[in-house]
Amino acid sequence: MNQFKPALILGGLICLGMVLAGWILGNSALKIKQYERVVSVKGLSEREVKANVAVWPIRFSTASQDLAALYDTMQSQTSQIQNFLKNEGFSPEEITIAAPVITDKYAQQYGGDGNVALRYTAHQTITVYTKNIDKVRSAQSRLVDLGKNGIAFGGEDYGQRTEYLYTQLNDIKPAMIEQATQNARSVAEKFAADSDSRLGKIKSANQGVFSIEDRDSNTPYLKKVRVVSTVEYYLAD
């Protein structure tokens, strides 16, 4: 009988090991199954900010039958606009003057020049690039005074519209991401409570893309910054 005792002990240990292994595997399977339960939610963060850069193109034009007189007029009008901008508080570094573009209408005619009233036309653009948004808006309202002096300004056609930019996104990005994540967690906690579950750790998170848009068409200097974060959480019973 004693000679079978080691074999019985070994067999018992093997059986115990198999039971323990089965319990561990079963428990692990339950945990894996538990962690497969996730909820995916989105969190929104929005802010209204004021643009910090303005790009203001001032386009004006004139016409003449004499080319030399045309250049003299353009030079005079350029000086008037420069003086106007200087009096409005803009520095020379904020003002860029493009070369005038001259068109000879005779060169565009076929079969004579009888229908051309003034042979030469010219247009020119002076661009103001500044961080003083209020100064631009104030100066724009007084630009009409130069128009009364005979300067023909172009309308806000495509490419000539004042552009307002917001370039300080990095200053508000961390706080907005935090807010979006908190909003996502609030939604996930509500979902977990409604499903009689507990909210676990984050499985994955996607920051989302920031967008900057005009708040509305009438106030392009006011911007709406928006980001949507997507977060996946584990659920537990």
Q: Tens digit of pLDDT for each residue in 102-144? A: 998 887 765 555 566 788 999 999 999 999 999 999 999 898 8
Q: Tens digit of pLDDT for each residue in 70-112? A: 999 999 999 999 999 999 999 999 999 999 999 988 877 655 5
Supply angle C-alpha 185, 191, 196, rounded to 5: 125
| pLDDT exceeds 60 at position 233 | yes
Instruction: Return left, alpha or beta for 157; rule: phi > 0 is left, psi -120 to 50 is alpha, else beta.
Output: beta
- In this structure, the strands spanning 152-153 and 53-64 are antiparallel
Superfamily per CATH, domain 36-52+166-237: Protein of unknown function (DUF541), domain 1 (3.30.110.170)
Amino acid at site 214: D
Q: How confident is the model at residue 211 (pLDDT cuts 50, 70, 90)?
A: very high
Q: Is 136 exposed, middle or buried (0-12, 13-18, 19+ CB in 10 A)?
A: buried
- For residue 10, give the H/E element and its range: helix 5-35
Tell me the CA distances in angstroms from 15 to 18, 159, 201, one per residue in order.
5, 83, 37
Would you say the C-alpha torsion 36, 192, 175, 229 has a positive or negative sign? Answer: positive
| pLDDT exceeds 80 at position 184 | yes
Supply the pTM of this predicted model.
0.75
Q: What is the secondary structure of 81-114 as a DSSP string?
A: HHHHHHHTT--GGGEEEPPPEEEEGGGG-SS-ST
Superfamily per CATH, domain 53-165: Protein of unknown function (DUF541), domain 2 (3.30.70.2970)
| pLDDT exceeds 80 at position 53 | yes
60 in Cβ contact with 122 (< 8 Å): no
Task: Name the residue ranges covered by the structural domains of the chain.
Answer: 36-52+166-237, 53-165
What is the number of helices (H) and of strands (E) in the chain?
A: 5, 10
Higher pLDDT, 89 or 3: 89
Q: How far from the centroid of its chain's Cα atoms is residue 100's Cα?
A: 33
Q: What span, in angstroms and rounded, lies between the C-alpha atoms of 90 and 135?
A: 8
